[in-house]
Structure 1
């Protein structure tokens, strides 16, 4: 509760908030002090009941605030995806003639309508990604006291069959490497380390410890790892031999034909190479899948695979568990009775 008192001709308001006593000078009007007391008591009661007042910006306004927050915490490519996904929802609001909708005015029914409209244009999995972005935006809005509830949490996502990771068979690996057309060091490093594309193109000579035979993956001032974590990957003598043959004219290990750090066009170059030799559904990320899949198929335990791959959650690694059909049997066989 709040109370008022007079001292030296001035009225004061006193109340407790956050475990401490707050005192404020109101002035020489008792009437004004009583009004301030009632207002504070209402505000404290609302907070106690979980009715704390929140800002209620428009979606368009808060979208910019949210993107500003995400920009400093994710990879540039991830930020671009967040920007695109929120833009789709803004376009949807514009199409309905309600571009200035406030966060509180967006209901789960409206989100469901958006879901149904988007499914006509893109795959279900893409719609799910867009819904996840909206859900994250609202969770952030709740933390910022700009929303009281998350309408996206009441919407059912599309269910789909989980797609198994595409990886190369041994014969495909041999075919790819023997026809690598100058990409051999890049492809071989992918296959021997399981690096993500951004990790490989940002790899520097200082990250390779030739003496200890390790590659260190860690964030830099101008680049951040996907999870923000640092990990070390052991490397073989064969890979060391390949790396030692590369030019050291730059801080970066892998350079394109112009002597510059590889860009994201590396994806298309690898795809073209794979298509030219008859390897279908081939992406740069499939090389990472290949590294992980063959580790699992050759009996490496999933916890070790998780560490080598740099997965932040074992659930991601479990996507490959089906490749080791005997792993549950081996676990049971270890019982001492």
Structure 2
């Protein structure tokens, strides 16, 4: 019986939403009318929100993360890296039943991460556990993607618990780029270091805007007359970039894998110079340098997008201010444009 009177005089509403295996609902009311109204309202809600009538989902968050990785994450370029980060988040949340995770839970987890109260899985020193807003933003986006992807795959029917959580606003990153004198200084340091592989990789990055990893794994088959084709890129799309005759002549005698690993040699060569870079930037300064000089020399922003392999023009637009005519009208159209200093 869905509604019955108790010995206390209260009315018990006791029913299963959709059959013996569905969710059981029990609630007491002072009047029969309230109990009837509640049952009718709940059953109506269950029609619009099917998960209310389903058997309670008791899967742990770690189970969902593993399921996401097996069904989707393993195919991502940085799938294993993302899985490791998700496992850190899961541990910091104490691996709750996923259906019980709330926006409030994540907000408090985020607060503890920013204060350095949660082991980040990389350092034994608690002083290095303090996370930056950009870090917790990425963690939130990764976990948010888990729920969204499982919902698309039909493996999750409940609401996404993070859908109401706003990420922190991030300040635009400062970008390091090299002037022509600094480029010559760096190339000289690479040559002084005595590593021809190092010098050539640096040249490829500066000429094509390639990422260090893209340039470092080049093979002879990726070189054609006056062009380099980059494969296995971050955006998963091959791209071909023209190169000058002198670089083609320098690379064409090479066979097989063109270069050997020399990332650490780059850091050593950089240390021989007076060049100061923004924290967190090393080899990526070469890509920034290419893009900056491309725009300063009058390059087209859409062409730059294709050369860099950006899928979204917003990534490329951060170089727009290097264009010679960027916001130039501010000089001629400001209210003191005709003012002459005395």
Distance apart, 1:327 and its partner CA: 3.8
Match of 1:205 among 203, 217, 220: 220
| 2:230 aligned residue | 217
Query: What pairs with 1:41-190 in structure 2 (closer than 5 Å)?
Result: 49-51=48-50, 53=54, 56=57, 57-75=59-77, 78-94=78-94, 99=95, 101-120=96-115, 121-145=130-154, 146-180=156-190, 181=193, 182=195, 183-190=198-205
Q: For residues 214 and 47 of structure 1, what CA distance do their matches in structure 2 show?
A: 61
Match of 2:16 in 1: none
Moved over 6 A (4+): 45-48
2:208 to 183, 193, 202: 193
The CA RMSD measured in Å over matched residues stands at 2.7
For each residue in 1:45-100, what CA deviation from the matched residue of structure 2 results, as whole angstroms up to 9, or x when unmatched? 9997352558832211111111234444322xx22331222122222133xxxx3x
Answer whether contact 1:164 1:319 (CA < 8 A) is retained: no
Structure 1 residue runs of 5 or longer lacking an equivalent are 1-34, 37-44, 219-223, 257-261, 331-337
Give distance in 1, aligned partners of 2:47 and 2:318.
Answer: 44
On the 8 A contact 1:197/1:284 being kept in 2, the answer is: yes
Select the residue among 229, 233, 248 that pairs with 1:240.
Answer: 248
Once residues 144 and 240 of structure 2 are traced to their aligned partners in structure 1, the CA distance between those partners, rounded to angstroms, is 34
Q: Deviations over 1:32-55 (max 9, x none)?
A: xxx89xxxxxxxx99973525588
Please give the TM-score of this superposition, normalised by the length of structure 1: 0.71
Query: CA offsets per residue over residues 231-280 of structure 1, 9 Å max, x none?
Result: 210111121122135x42x3x221x2xxxxx3xxx443322211221222
**Which residue matches 2:302?**
303
Q: Aligned residue pairs: how many?
A: 265
Separation in structure 2 between the aligned mates of residue 54 and residue 200 of structure 1, nearest angstrom: 53
Give the structure 2 partner of residue 32 of structure 1: none
Question: C-alpha deviations, 1:171-212, integer Å up to 9, x for none?
Answer: 1101001121212111111111111123223322111112xx
Higher relative contact order (CA 8 A, sep 6+): 1
Aligned mates of 2:268, 2:162 — CA distance in 1: 40
Could you list the runs of 5+ residues in structure 2 that have no partner in the other structure? 1-18, 21-43, 116-129, 330-342
Q: Check the 8 A contact 2:144/2:163 in 1, yes or no.
A: yes
Cα distance in 2 for partners of 1:167, 1:54 equals 57
Residue pair 2:62, 2:87 contacting (<8 A) in 1 also: no
Structure 2 CA distance for aligned equivalents of residues 205 and 47 of structure 1: 62
Alignment correspondent of 1:293: 292
Tell me what 1:253 maps to. 258
1:123 to partner: Cα distance: 1.3
- CA shift in 2, pair 1:147/1:113, >3 Å: farther
Flag the 1:171–1:230 CA change in 2: closer, same or farther, 3 A: same
